[in-house]
Amino acid sequence: MAGPGRQSKLEQAGGPADASGVPEMATIIGYKLRRAQLLVFQDFIDSFAELPLRPAEFSVLALIARTPGLKQSDIAARLGIKRANFVSLMDGLERRGLAERRKAAGDKRSHSLHLTEQGNRFVARMVELWQAHEQRLVDSLGGAAERDRLIALLDRIIGAKG
């Protein structure tokens, strides 16, 4: 705790604390990020209720759709998914007929990832649902400029720690 006339490290960082040095929850960045994440994920779940889709699956399918033929190790690395978890996730997408692994050209040990025809149709519907979900979030922020500002701030945190 800081002495008389001195600020604690938290207060210097901009978070008010009382005499005990304990910050008010509403001023804790991590707390606010987690609350926002829970609300965004709940809206995601509600938005995609007609499609059996988890956020990680959405990310993988979106990345495969945008960049077909990437190696699965590259997609896992870009998304920050551990190899074992990614293999299990891809197994599920393959079982559902949405994506497939193909031997990578020039490297028989690695696989490139592609959407199937069914996967392309699934992703088309997924994008429609995502657009409505994303628009609700943008509207709650007050518009595209505020979304861009939030993304820039989050990128600063990610860049500093990521």
Residue 15 domain-assigned? no
Residue 120 domain-assigned? yes
The per-residue pLDDT for 115 is 98
Host domain of residue 89: 23-150
Residue 3 domain-assigned? no
Residue 115 domain-assigned? yes
Residue 16 domain-assigned? no
What's the domain count of the chain? 1
Residue 6 domain-assigned? no
The per-residue pLDDT for 13 is 56
Residue 2 domain-assigned? no
Of the candidates 71, 51, 74, 57, which has an alpha carbon nearest to the alpha carbon of residue 132?
A: 51
The per-residue pLDDT for 1 is 45
The per-residue pLDDT for 7 is 53
- The CATH number of whichever domain residue 139 belongs to comes to 1.10.10.10
Q: Extract the tokens encoding 95.
A: 């079982």
Residue 18 domain-assigned? no
Q: pLDDT, tens digit, for every residue of 103-149?
A: 877 777 888 999 999 999 999 999 999 999 999 999 999 999 999 99
The per-residue pLDDT for 50 is 94
pLDDT in tens, the chain (162 residues): 455 555 555 555 556 667 777 888 888 999 999 999 999 999 999 999 999 899 999 999 999 999 999 999 999 999 999 988 999 999 999 999 999 999 877 777 888 999 999 999 999 999 999 999 999 999 999 999 999 999 999 999 988 875
The per-residue pLDDT for 58 is 97
